Amino acid sequence: MASPALPPLADLLAAAHVVSLPLTTRFRRIDTREAVVFRGPEGSTEFSPFVEYGDDEAATWLGAAIDFGWRAQPSPLRDRIRVNATVPAVDASRVPEILALYDGCRTAKVKVAEAGQVLADDVARVRAVRAELGAEGRIRVDANGGWNVDEAEHAIHALAEFDLEYVEQPCASIAELAELRVRLHDWDIPIAADESVRRAEDPLEVARAGAADLLVIKAQPLGGVHSALDIVRDAGLPVVVSSALDTSVGLSMGAWLAASIPSLDFDCGLGTASLLAADVTARPVRAVGGFIEVERVELGDALLAQHAASAERDAWWRARITRCYELLSARS
């Protein structure tokens, strides 16, 4: 699909608001989430690649922001999306507190393989989640590529008693995922790929390699709703739409993507506004009865001012937008 024309850089910068939002609990080793939100012609949109990402990768996220804010979106096929709870790598004793943030969610994604922790921590955390959700609840674990193949096999066997729905990105490379999938064949535990899709030069490689049973799709890292829909269609695998610790604006982009996919068999990872202690809208995109609504988010001026990033961080993000814009211009 040809890339649409980019809006002028001056328009992007004029519409940008850089915010710094505190988290309710430490996640991905950060305590605050920085993001840029814009008011575009089509509605609010977001640019929030993690600060450690290079410009080439971050430029794709800027393309997503432009896609959602400056381009008409597909007509949604549903008006609400069932979402999962997300449990960070907390002590097992905090699991009830975390799950209480997600109203009515029947599924929980549990972070495992955290640096500085051991398998016993993961087992205790997942056991606590199973106790809270009961036998009918659905549990998926996410290792963020933190295990090698042997470690992953051992860990998954240890966690299998909790009836896992799937294991997300247990190993970092596609080759490792493929080998692990063979080893787990008789265990009937599906493998989901996340980083092997959103951080890959070719997001379809993992599907072609037979290295995953399903794909975790995120709107921002894949260049926006239109681009992500192309990947879903071409991959031919079941998908879960998830977020990258977005503000409610980014979550609305993810919800729009999820609502545009014809077959959506898994609860989506779009309830993560509950991990934010503050947001950019008076009506955060949070789970109610296990669902979020598919709708555009209205930015709150008072909240943008209250959580505005420092002058130094504001300048850093605007310089990043400028560099990424130049890369997008070269691509198109």
| Token reading at 274 | 């509950």
Q: Are 311 and 9 in contact (CB under 8 A)?
A: no
Of 273, 276, 299, 275, residue with least CA distance to 286: 273
- Pick the catalytic residue: 33, 111, 198, 286? 111
109 is catalytic: no
Distance (Å, whole) CA 21 – CA 31? 9
User: What's the start-to-end Cα distance of the chain, in Å?
Assistant: 11
Per the residue annotation, which of 17, 218, 226, 307 is the catalytic one?
A: 218
The whole-angstrom separation of Cα 274 and Cα 101 is: 6
From residue 70, give the alpha-carbon distance in Å to each of 5, 63, 285, 296.
10, 10, 21, 13
- Orientation angle between helical segments 149-159 and 119-133, nearest 10 degrees: 30
Active site residues: 111, 218
